[in-house]
A and B are shown apart, each in its own frame.
Chain A
Amino acid sequence: MKPGEHTLTAFENFMEGIWKQNPVFVMVLGMCPTLAVTVSAINALGMGLATTFVLVFSCLLVSVIRNWVPKEVRIATYIVIIASFVTVVDYAIQALSLGLYEALGAFIQLIVVNCIILGRAEAHASKHPPLTAVVNALGMGIGFTIGLFALGGVREIFGTGTLFGISLFGPGFQPWIVMLLPPGGFFVLGGWLLLFAWWKMRKEAKDGA
């Protein structure tokens, strides 16, 4: 830790990923799964939880072995660790829910290349003790899940008129097909980013005044 740097409390460390550094709304990382699998709330939650699992355990392991990994081969080491946990998740989802597994498709395997995970391993876990790393990773994972859910929920409500498969508007609902198509993902993500940017701007204006 550099001198003069503010030491985060455990709670602040946890909230970092949920709010201040939210992977979806603030850092805009991991956009491929964010846009691709969020056609329904359940897909979004499944993807978010799978990523959280991989994130937490990868960061734990990376943090534990951080003093023994030579600098030159660290990225390769992290990838091997992440890939192992992704394999675990891949089999687990396949065993628990084949429907979800088929809905998420290749994006489960692609968690390996999710830049949030490698980014956290490199930027945080490799420099902090295991407990701090896990708390931070958990916050990031939950923040990512919230982001995916925010997209998946809106797209499912408009695209099929349901939330978690429960009909909200009755049988005569006119689905907005576009919301289930790729442009819908971009529209909803853009809408959320706009909302967050607007909110931030207002807060800064208020703080400045």
Chain B
Amino acid sequence: MTELRSAPHERLGVSVESIMLNVVLALLPIALFSIWLYGLSALALLITSVVVCLATERVFNRLSGQSSTLSDWSAMITGILLALVLPPSFPLWMTAVAAVVAMGLGKILFGGLGMNVFNPALVGRAFVQAAFPSAIATWVPSYAPNRFHEFIPTTLTQPLMIPPDITAWVKAVSADAFTGATPLAMWKFQHQLTAPEDLILGIATASVGETSAMLILVCGLYLALRGMLDWRIPVGMMGSAVILASAFHLYNPDFFPPPVFVLLSGGLMLGAMFMATDMATSPVTPLAVWTYAILIGVVTVLIRYFGGLSEGVMYAILFGNALAPLLDRSLPTRVFGRRKPWRVGS
């Protein structure tokens, strides 16, 4: 029997599900390492985030009369990513709020997987950043001695209530002078640089999954080598950030940090590897992809250096997401046989 079909005729044989499953696998080492660093609280954070994301998707599926879309693994990815960009001490009820907003507002209301404009995990993160600015800026030290026996006090805050003050708890568990600030905030507000090896190994204070730059790099490389993420995005994003940071550093080495610091600190690595590369929210044509990636890198550095916040990766990626459809439309690939757009005359 002859089958008539329109293009594309050649298929890669890779389904959405298998790509998503591989992203989950690539995220697992980062998640496991974060549990090693922060113990029970990180575990509870991850479980809450994933469970609420899956449940939200299921509820919306039912409300809209669709069949379940849980099996495509994408809700799982959003759940893991969301937990990875929250601080380890984040109360679980706020995590649940972030997860509902991430899935509901960030994804389902747009029509589900592939239709969303913004990265769902970052929508959730941006919402709780605006809603609970103090809780999301509360940091705890890694390797707390009792991390596998007890929760960080703020983790189990009663729903809708203010998390308790953890200054005393932090003092009790941290051996050396723990400042309660991320490396970026320390640079920005106290002008102290964190050693690069701390950033690479994940000793520095950070969100659950931003800790080890090296681990994130390895996990991202796995996806890139399997062709499951567009390598142009991390390369363009990190490259542009490093080049811009180098220029600033050369201009005034006393004030601006070295480019290695910019590359390894905060969420740049995680954002470049797992957030900006989200297939639904990044552009398609090569030129648009490069523009998108470079733009995110530049905006990140500008927010970090000149904005009110110490970290800018989240807003930079959301900004890039918003521009992605426009970039695709204004920077299309040249149709074979068509004249180059910049050539005039016959």
Docked CA distance A143–B231 (Å)? 54
- In the complex the two chains form, is B130's CB within 8 Å of A174's CB? no
In the bound complex, what is the Cα–Cα distance between A164 and B92 (angstroms)?
Answer: 29
Chain A residue nearest in CB terms to B93 = A174
- Minimal beta-carbon separation of A176 from chain B (angstroms): 4
Q: In the complex, identify which listed stretch (A25-33, A63-71, A127-135, A178-186) lies at the interface while the others stay far away.
A: A178-186
Which of A173, A178, A183, A187 meets B161, CB within 8 Å? A173
Is B193 on the interface with A (CB-CB < 8 A)? no
Q: Are B161 and A174 in contact (CB under 8 A)?
A: yes
Complex alpha-carbon distance, A187 and B130, angstroms: 13
Q: Could you list 12 A-B pairs, sorted by A, with CB under 8 Å? A: A172-B161, A172-B162, A173-B160, A173-B162, A174-B132, A174-B135, A174-B157, A177-B132, A178-B127, A179-B131, A181-B130, A194-B109
The answer to whether the Cβ of B133 comes within 8 Å of any Cβ in the partner chain is yes
Q: How many A-B residue pairs lie within 8 Å, measured between CB atoms?
A: 31
B124-151 interface mask toward A, CB cutoff 8 Å, 1 = contact, 0 = none? 0001001111010000000000000000
- Which of A173, A176, A194 neighbours the largest number of chain B CB atoms within 10 Å of its CB? A176
Cβ of B131 and Cβ of A176 under 8 Å apart? yes
A91 within 8 A of B: no
Question: Which of A169, A178, A179, A183 contacts B160 (CB under 8 A)?
Answer: A169
Residues of B within 8 A of A (CB): 94, 105, 109, 127, 130-133, 135, 157-158, 160-163
Q: Smallest distance from the beta carbon of A39 to chain B beta carbons, Å?
A: 14
- Chain A residues contacting B160 (CB-CB under 8 Å) are 161, 169, 173-174
A169 to B161, CA, bound (A): 8
Output the least CB separation between B17 and chain A (Å): 29
Bound CA span A194–B132, Å: 25
A177 adjacent to B133 (CB under 8 Å): yes
Q: Contacts of B109 on A, CB cut-off 8 Å?
A: 194
Give me 16 other A-B pairs in contact (C-beta within 8 A), A176-B131, A177-B133 excluded: A161-B160, A169-B161, A172-B162, A173-B160, A173-B161, A174-B132, A174-B135, A174-B157, A174-B160, A174-B162, A177-B130, A177-B131, A177-B132, A178-B127, A178-B130, A194-B109
Cα distance A183–B109 in the bound complex, in angstroms: 17
A177 / chain B contacts, CB cutoff of 8 Å: 130-133
Contacts of A194 in B (CB 8 A): 109
Question: 1/0 contact trace for A158-173 toward B, CB 8 Å?
Answer: 0001000000010011
In Å, the complex CA distance between A160 and B335 comes to 56
Report chain A residues within 8 Å CB of B131: 176-179
Provide the residues of chain B in CB contact with A161, threshold 8 Å: 160
Q: Kindly provide the distance from the CB of B59 to the nearest chain A CB, expressed in whole angstroms.
A: 13
Give the top 6 A-B pairs by smallest Cβ distance, nearest first. Answer: A178-B130, A178-B131, A176-B131, A172-B161, A174-B162, A172-B162
Q: Give every chain A residue within 8 A of B127 (Cβ-Cβ).
A: 178
Contacts of A183 in B (CB 8 A): 130
Interface centre among A174, A178, A179, A187 (most CB of B within 10 A): A174
Give the contacts of A176-203 with B (CB-CB under 8 A).
176-179, 181, 183, 187, 194
Q: Which residues of A contact B158 (CB under 8 A)?
A: 172
- Residue B132 contacts which of A169, A173, A176, A187 (CB distance < 8 angstroms)? A176
Question: What chain A residues lie within 8 Å of B132 (beta carbons)?
Answer: 174, 176-177
- Scoring B130, B157, B158, B163 by chain A CB atoms within 10 A of each residue's CB, the highest score goes to B130
Shortest A113–chain B CB gap in Å is 30
Counting chain A CB atoms within 10 Å of each CB, the highest count among B109, B161, B163 belongs to B161
The docked-state distance in angstroms from the alpha carbon of A172 to that of B93 is 14
* Residue of A whose beta carbon sits closest to that of B162: A174
Contact with B along A77-92 (1 / 0, CB 8 A): 0000000000000000
B residues in contact with A172, CB < 8 Å: 158, 161-162
How many whole Å from B28's CB to the nearest CB in chain A? 32
List, in ascending order, chain B residues with CB within 8 A of A176's CB.
131-132
Q: Are A174 and B133 closer than 8 Å at their CB atoms?
A: no
Q: How far is the CB of A167 from chain B (nearest CB, A)?
A: 12
Min Cβ gap A186→B in Å is 11
Contacts of B130 on A, CB cut-off 8 Å? 177-178, 181, 183
Residue ID in chain A nearest B101 by CB atoms: A187
B307 CB to closest chain A CB (Å) equals 17
Return the chain A residue nearest B158 by Cβ. Answer: A172
Q: How far is the CB of B273 from chain A (nearest CB, A)?
A: 28
Q: How far is the CB of A21 from chain B (nearest CB, A)?
A: 26
CA distance A172 to B105 in the complex (A): 28
Q: Which residues of B contact A173 (CB under 8 A)?
A: 160-162
* B87 CB to nearest chain A CB (Å): 15
Nearest A residue to B94, CB-CB? A174
Contacts of A187 in B (CB 8 A): 105
Of B127, B131, B132, B157, most buried by chain A (CB within 10 Å of CB) is B131
For residue B244, give the distance in angstroms from its CB to the closest CB of chain A.
29
Q: Which residue of B lies closest to A170 (CB)?
A: B161
When C-beta atoms are compared, the residue in chain B nearest to A168 turns out to be: B160
Chain A residues with CB under 8 A of B163: 174
